[in-house]
Every structure is written in structure tokens, then in C-alpha cells.
A and B are shown apart, each in its own frame.
Chain A
Amino acid sequence: MKPDALITVEGATKDYIVHAEGVRATLRALRGIDLTVRRGEVLAIVGESGCGKTTLSRLILGIEEPSAGHVSLEGKAATDYDRLARAALIQPIFQDPYSSLNPRMTIGQIIAAPLVVRGRGGRRERHTQVMDAMRQVGLAEHLRNAYPGQLSGGQRQRVAIARALIGEPEILVCDEPTSALDVSVQSQILNLIAELRARFSLTIVLISHNLAVVHHLADRVAVMYLGQIVESGPTEKIFASPRHHYTRALLDAILVPEAHRRLPRLTIDAEFPSPLTPPPGCAFHPRCPAADAVCREIDPPPVGDGDTRFRCHHPLPTPA
């Protein structure tokens, strides 16, 4: 374990047994993940749907066990924590603020729930903590007695954040935290996450398909493709000079609202393959503009290049 590593994932794979067209098959959602999340950083995980981002987050949250390999939080296996100890350390925030809140509980009850479960503090103390948490995420006091159905999407996501923060965890795992929100609301939630991170020195794992959001918030980026991390490194470096062709394509595909833009013409072909039948060799080769015979046969191992790592036989050049 590196000295500053808070989350360590080593050689993690995750298999699911699925029934595809009536046949039992093994779906390898994660195929050997190595990842370190340092204390206090925002690490973003990006990649197309189905590449394994949520599965990886479930291993980190200790909700699921890896089929092989290890996931540890502060040096201890994520699944060895009892529920309460884990909840005190790491909390999830999900994409959909509609389904993640119990519709029959008041906002005050929802936010206090983690304290109640832990038997922490008396009624009055809990009340003070709930009010503090609501203030911190920008929820008006009177909403304490409202129900989730009476709140807007942005307000509900604030409730989810308040609930996650009330037990003072060290780590937040945010899975597409703003994807269900309108842009004018999205920016407020992003601002809130950035502010709370600074105030509480949080460590954040941010899963997002929005590369512009990732660029804005993350210190480091891990790019996933078909159950592997194909490139990782400091955000600015990855954005300025990606080494993997898939990263290049993701960056090219960013659409921003600026005048005089042209639609990108991507250099990658075809579509994301099924994880049930991963292509041989480098899993990205069927879509890669640089693929040759080697790529079709040999899965490229991760190679280091200072603080970035990538898996590619024919990496893009670094700028001179």
C-alpha cells in the first residue's frame, strides 16, 4: 500500500453468471483492475455504459466482493468492515435522486437516518446535526418536514448529499451525480460537491460520462474500457496528451456550447463489444485506428510513463 493510498484495488475481477438467450454464461464485468485513490483527491472514472464503472464502485463500497483480487479501504478489505464502520468511512451518492430517497419519510428523517441507525446522539443533538447538514447543502430549513415528492430534482440530490455527509465519512462515491438533472441545476450540485470537498477534505470517486464535468472537478482520471482501466493519470495531462486511442476518441467526442465549432469526425469505428465475448488481444482493437496483427493477439500490459499508465501497443505520441 502506498503511504497516501486510501482506496486500493489490486487485480480485481468480477464475474456474473448470466443467461444470454437461454444459455448460462459468465460475464466478466471487471477484468483485472488496479487502482489507487489517494487521500483527499477526486478520482474520476470514465467510459461508455457497460464498461464496468458501477461494478467497480460497488466493490469499492464493499457492497459486492471481487471474484478475484483485493479491494481495501485504509488497508483493510472493503468487505471486512461491518456495515456501520463502513458507513462511517464511505458513502454513495447515486444518479437518480428520485429512486434513492424513501418517498414516505420526511426530509428530516431521511437525513437523520444514518445517525439513528448508529444510535448516535439524542433527539435534540440529531436535530441540530440535521439542520447543520441541510444548511451546508443549501436546503431551506422548512423543507425538513417535506416529503421527497414535493422537492425538485436538484433539491433531492442535495438531500442525498446531506444524508451521505451527516456521518462525516471520508470518502464519497458519486455515480453520475448530475446526469438526471437539468444543466442550470447540475452546476449548483457540482459547485456544492467542490465546496464540501474542500471544507471536509473529502476523498471522492466520481463516475461520469461527461468529460467536461470530469475536467472541471477531477484531479486524476481513470479511463475504463470493457472491464479494464486502459489509461489513468492526472486530469490535465490526460486531456492535453492522451496516450490511448480510446481516450483520444472520448476527448474528441466532447461537445461544448461554443460558437464556430464543427461536429467531430471520430477516428474510431463500430460499437462497444459485448462483455460476454470480449475481442481477443487488445479489447479495443476492433475500433482502433492503429490496430495491427499484434493488437489482435496480445492484450497490452499496462505501462508506466511517470504518473500516467496506459495499455496500448501503439500509443499516441507525447507532444515534443
Chain B
Amino acid sequence: MTLDAGETLAVVGESGCGKSLSAMAITGLVPPRAKLIADRIALKGKSLLGLREREWRGIRGRRIAVVFQDPMTSLDPCYTIEDQMREIGRQHLALDARALRARMLDLLRQVGISSPETRLSQYPHQLSGGLRQRVMIAIALMCEPELIIADEPTTALDVTIQAQVLRLLADLQKEHGFGLILITHDLGVVAGAADRIAVMYAGQVVESGPTDTVLSAPAHPYTEGLLHSIPVPGRTARGAPLGFIPGVVPRPDAPHTACGFINRCSRPVSACATPIALMPIDPAHAARCIRPCLGGQIVERHPATETAA
């Protein structure tokens, strides 16, 4: 995956497909039992592979900030919002106490919190889910990061709050210019919020391209299947059967000897029995499929197999 400065990339896929692990790989925080193997992970040309913990400290929270689905996992219940924001500010910013407090109040205002003084003195459990997520975004913005990774930031929120938080992220991005990786299982969240999409399935990116292209003309049968399974008011006939993808996701420990989607695919051929590479369709759009759909037609491509497993 690549992300341009100031751009939003949505990483979408069903639970367990590897979205969160991808985010962890970028921030060097893979789980203890996991081993990260990568050709290259780089931020503005600087490699993030094999960094020491001390070097990460200048990057995590500072150049790359992460916002999680459940703010309670990253907020400490025993400290006020002010304590937690101040701690992060002290680590990364050279500001005196007064300037730091002004910065905190300003950030809370920027994320749409109307009485920031009150909120600063409160504990996380005293805030609603939506407010906590706004606080997390304020904390993420503290050091003006170049990249924000938001992992299911609105999944736990009510629909009206979800729309407002997504809007907030988009508005803040316009103002601050950070790149945004928006991880979500909800394709609805992607439309309007992301410039480009990477669709993941069973640990791989199976399609990537501009949001509007992928949503209106999905090339990979998995993307197509997902889109057909979601009712859209005004477009899907009410009550008519929805599309679905038969079968289940392969186990993560299944051997990687064929296209990962072969057992659920609507158009498999014998050539799909080898691992398939992510192949470009045009310079901006790629699919891990030898029979992608292009302009409404299934096209046959040479079974270029993966170079590296």
C-alpha cells in the first residue's frame, strides 16, 4: 500500500482479514508472538524497519498518530483528560505549562468540543463515546503528525455521531494536511471519506484504486460480492434478495497455494489454483485476479503469479 501526503486511504475488509495488523506493522507494534516480514515500510522515504525503541519514540505519537475504535483502551481511566494530554505534550512538545494548556484548549475546540475547560478536568468515563473519540483525535493532533491511522474510529459510535466524527476528520485533514489511513469494515464509511481504497481479504490486498472507481466498477469478484450484499435505499429493490458471498473466509493458517478467494469465487478457472499477484488494471487501479471485471466485461489475464510469497 502507498499513501500520498495529505491523502486518505481506506483499508476495508471483513473482520480478521488483517487490517489492524497492517496498521500495527506500520507503527512497529506487532503483537509479541508475531513476526513482521517486509520488503519495505517507509515514511517519507525513511525506512521504519528495524528501528530501535528509542528511535520509534520520535515517530510514534509524533509523526504517526493512531486513533483506535475504543478510546477506553488508550485513555487511562484514572487520569483526567488534562493529565493525559499534558503527559503527551510534555513528551513531545517544548512548551511551558501555560502554552501547553492553551494548546490543549485550542485542540479540544478544533475537534468540536464546546466547553473545553470543563472537559479537561473530567475523567474518560464521564464522557460519551463520541466525546471520547473527539478527545482521542485532539490527542492525535497534538504534535501535528504527518500520518494518522484511524482503526475503526467510528464503529462503536451511533450513526449520527459517526457521520460527525468522519466529517471532523475530513475537515481537520483539509486544515492540517495529514495523511489518513482509515481502517473500516464498513464500505459505506469509505464513500465520501477516502480518496483511495485498498480492499483486503484473508491477509492480502485484493483490490486497490480510486474510491469512485472501485465502488462503481469493482474489478475483483470479492469487492463486487461485498457491494452487492449491502442494501442501498433507493437503489436496492425493497425486500428483494440481497447478493451474498457463499462459503467462509479461509483459516489464517491455511496453506497459501491458490488464490485465497478461489473457494468462494463466482468465476474461478483452473489457473486460479496458483497464488495470484496484485496486477495493475490501469496505473491507479489494481486487482489480485486473473479474470477481473473491466467496464462490465470479464477479461482474461495471463496468470502472472506472485513473485514473493
Interface residues of B in 193-251 (CB under 8 A from A): 193, 211-213, 215-216, 225-227, 229-233, 235-236, 238-239, 241-245, 248
Evaluate contact between B159 and A250: CB separation under 8 angstroms. Answer: yes
Total A-B residue contacts, Cβ distance less than 8 Å: 133
Evaluate contact between B191 and A256: CB separation under 8 angstroms. Answer: yes
Evaluate contact between B225 and A256: CB separation under 8 angstroms. Answer: no
- For the complex, what is the distance from the CA of A135 to the CA of B67, rounded to whole Å? 44
Interface residues of A in 234-276 (CB under 8 A from B): 235-236, 239, 249-250, 252-266, 268, 270-272
Q: Of all chain A residues, which has the CB nearest B191?
A: A261
Q: Which of B185, B212, B226 contacts A260 (CB 8 A)?
A: B212
Evaluate contact between A152 and B248: CB separation under 8 angstroms. Answer: yes
Evaluate contact between B242 and A190: CB separation under 8 angstroms. Answer: yes
**B76 at the A/B interface (Cβ < 8 Å)?**
no
| Contact stretch, chosen from A94-102, A205-213, A300-308 | A205-213
- For the complex, what is the distance from the CA of A182 to the CA of B167, rounded to whole Å? 24
Q: Which residues of the partner chain A approach B226 to less than 8 Å between Cβ atoms?
A: 183-184
Evaluate contact between A213 and B231: CB separation under 8 angstroms. Answer: yes
**B131 at the A/B interface (Cβ < 8 Å)?**
yes
Q: Which residues of the partner chain A approach B189 to less than 8 Å between Cβ atoms?
A: 255
Q: Which residues of the partner chain B approach A216 to less than 8 Å between Cβ atoms?
A: 231, 233, 236, 238-239, 242
Question: Given A183-B185, A263-B192, do A271 and B239 touch, yes or no (CB 8 Å)?
Answer: no
30 CB contacts below 8 A, A to B, read A48-B161, A182-B15, A183-B185, A183-B230, A184-B14, A184-B229, A184-B244, A187-B230, A209-B159, A211-B233, A213-B231, A215-B233, A216-B238, A235-B238, A253-B159, A253-B162, A254-B159, A256-B232, A257-B187, A257-B232, A258-B215, A258-B235, A260-B212, A261-B192, A262-B192, A263-B163, A264-B167, A266-B160, A270-B114, A271-B128
Binding site for A on B (CB under 8 A): 14-15, 114, 128, 130-131, 158-164, 166-167, 170, 185-193, 211-213, 215-216, 225-227, 229-233, 235-236, 238-239, 241-245, 248
Task: Give me 19 other A-B pairs in contact (C-beta within 8 A), A256-B233, A258-B216 excluded.
Answer: A183-B14, A183-B185, A187-B244, A191-B242, A213-B231, A215-B231, A215-B233, A250-B160, A254-B159, A255-B162, A255-B163, A255-B166, A256-B230, A256-B232, A257-B188, A258-B191, A258-B232, A263-B167, A272-B128
